[in-house]
A and B are shown apart, each in its own frame.
Chain A
Amino acid sequence: MWKKLTSLPILMVAPVQLLIWFMVIFPTVVLVWLAFCYWTPQTGKSWWHAEWTWFSNFYQLLFDDPRFLWSIIRTIIIFFICISVELVAGMIMALLFQGSFFGKKALVSILIAPMMIIPLVIGQSFYMLFLAKGPVNQVISWLTFHKFQLDWLSHPIWAMAPIILGEIWNWTPLVFLIFMSGLTTVPQNQIRAAQGLGASPVQIFFRISLPILKPLILLVVVIRGMEIFKIFDLVYVLTRGGPGNATETITMYMYNQGIEFMRVSYVAASSFIILALVVIGAVRVLKPLQYQLLED
């Protein structure tokens, strides 16, 4: 047993294991402990002396806190809108940039810039763009020939738009690159054969290219989904979950409750619920990814 534990392969993963135990596993244990307690930093007691209150936090969260449930629903809405727009826009962009033409390389280089920019800076830029007197309203005024001055960021429904658009703007280039490299793997002779049989470009896309790209679409959904689920930076800079709590996502909700209101054990309980959802989701979601990553 000892010999097996001190063998080279195990020793080489030991530092990673230790770091994960220290930074993830142990905090998660603390989290579970806090979730069943009543504790805030203001009580003056150490967290390991907290008062055990069983399921009261969970009860309150699930049956008495619509704000929590709404933050989940809102995050799911953002997920669906962003993923579908990113997939469609990324695919259209990839199709637009097929073949070679003058200046393609330079143009593609510019188009992938958004994914390198700090999300927080993107948030600030979109903040300025979506001000009531900002350029976006001006452009809309030009296009519609009506004076248009919507205060996006303090509108209860439209405040979501800058957040969603910022996320889409940030990550569509990644989807575009993934699909562009995917399209080069579509066998040309199949396309030529289809053309010879009189297929239209639309038919070729849906019957030949799309089925080949299907694993990539899945990959995009999984990878982007993982990130959108945690969306925070843009929300914090653009609206801080406001107006009211109209744009509060899961992470924003936990931040507000935990850091602003210091309801630490309450947030621990909500984290526990989210983590349970994530673990259940991870098993389902990572299966197809595992197939792609490990068995190629």
Chain B
Amino acid sequence: MTESANARVWKKAGILALRVLVFLVTALPIYWMINTSFKPDPEWVTFPPIWFPHDLTTDNYLMLFNPKALAEVMHISTESAWPSFFNSTVISVLATALCMVIGTMCAYSISRFRVGGNFFPMSILALRMFPPIAVALPVLVLFSSLHLRDTYLGMILAYACFNLPFSVWMMKSFIDDVPRELEEAAIIDGMTQIEAMLKVTIPLVKAGVAATSLFIFILCWSEFLFAFILTDTEVATITVRLARYTTDTGEMYGARAALGVIATIPPVVIGYLIQNYLVRGLTFGAIKR
């Protein structure tokens, strides 16, 4: 009896140790990013690495948003990061709105009328399988001819289109959950099909609309490849700016980390808001929790 009790203690200790290990592995890259963003210049890369910086500084953050103030002190000249935040916000918000409006209409049509049978919804899903680079290059050629390159409109169209798989499939999974009989009753009461959709079904999936919108916002905000290829200087997004820090100034780990931390805050905050819908979104509505 004592032996099995012993074994149970060991087993518990083992499970606890594994849980702690999983936690540490998850936390390390996040911690290192935040850690570096508060380190002064000479401590960015040292050997041995500094795990707990003693003199914390906010210079890295100041450098991002008020580069002129620090230019003389640090002998580094960079541009302010504000415009990229503005661009990212405008593009993500408008692309999300466009994607949601047309995506919800499409999802409703698929859910209620089964438009295009199985083929049409699956072909939208297949958009996600398209390697974006294969489309990005001809889109670049096309946009250059149409003067859409490096404009808000071009980026919004691109993001709205390539997030359609998520908006259509996620909204379809929400609309499927609303019983059809509710609409039928409304139609018998004299509403048209569109009225029934707008006044009965959509209000019932309000939470779904909010979750899907925020989810698509995260995806737009984090997108890199299209932004990198289709923008230049005018509408460079936050991810493009992040990548530029890597290339132009090579060794500015602190400023990069600071920008990374700030850029990550919106998606993480939104991510936790819609925590219960993340899996549903990323599996195109296949897993409902």
Contact = CB atoms under 8 A, between A and B. Distances in A.
Contact of B116 (A13, A96, A118, A285): A13
A250 B129 CA distance: 14
B56 interface: no
A121 B225 contact: no
B83 interface: no
Interface stretch (B69-77, B117-125, B180-188, B203-211): B117-125
Contact of B284 (A15, A173, A236, A293): A293
Interface in B130-185: 130-135, 137-139, 141-142, 144-145, 157-158, 160-162, 164, 168-169
Given A9-B113, A34-B138, A236-B243, A110 B26 contact: yes
Given A178-B287, A181-B279, A118 B15 contact: no
B275 A109 contact: yes
A118 B237 CA distance: 13
A161 to B, nearest CB: 14
B160 A19 contact: yes
Given A28-B138, A128-B36, A232-B133, A181 B257 contact: no
Nearest to A7: B113
Interface residues of B, number: 98
27 contacts: A12-B106, A12-B115, A15-B105, A16-B168, A20-B161, A23-B139, A23-B161, A27-B138, A96-B22, A110-B27, A111-B23, A114-B29, A115-B278, A117-B267, A118-B263, A120-B224, A128-B33, A133-B49, A177-B278, A178-B279, A230-B131, A237-B243, A250-B131, A275-B131, A279-B126, A286-B125, A293-B125
Given A124-B33, A181-B287, 18 more contacts: A15-B105, A19-B160, A27-B142, A31-B137, A96-B15, A110-B23, A113-B271, A118-B224, A125-B33, A223-B282, A223-B283, A232-B133, A251-B132, A255-B229, A267-B137, A282-B129, A293-B169, A294-B121
Interface of A: 8-10, 12-13, 15-16, 19-20, 22-24, 26-28, 30-31, 34, 41, 46-47, 92-93, 96-97, 107, 109-122, 124-129, 131, 133-135, 138, 169, 173-174, 177-178, 181, 216, 219, 223, 226, 229-230, 232-233, 236-237, 250-251, 254-255, 258-259, 264, 267-268, 271, 274-275, 278-279, 281-282, 285-286, 289-290, 292-294
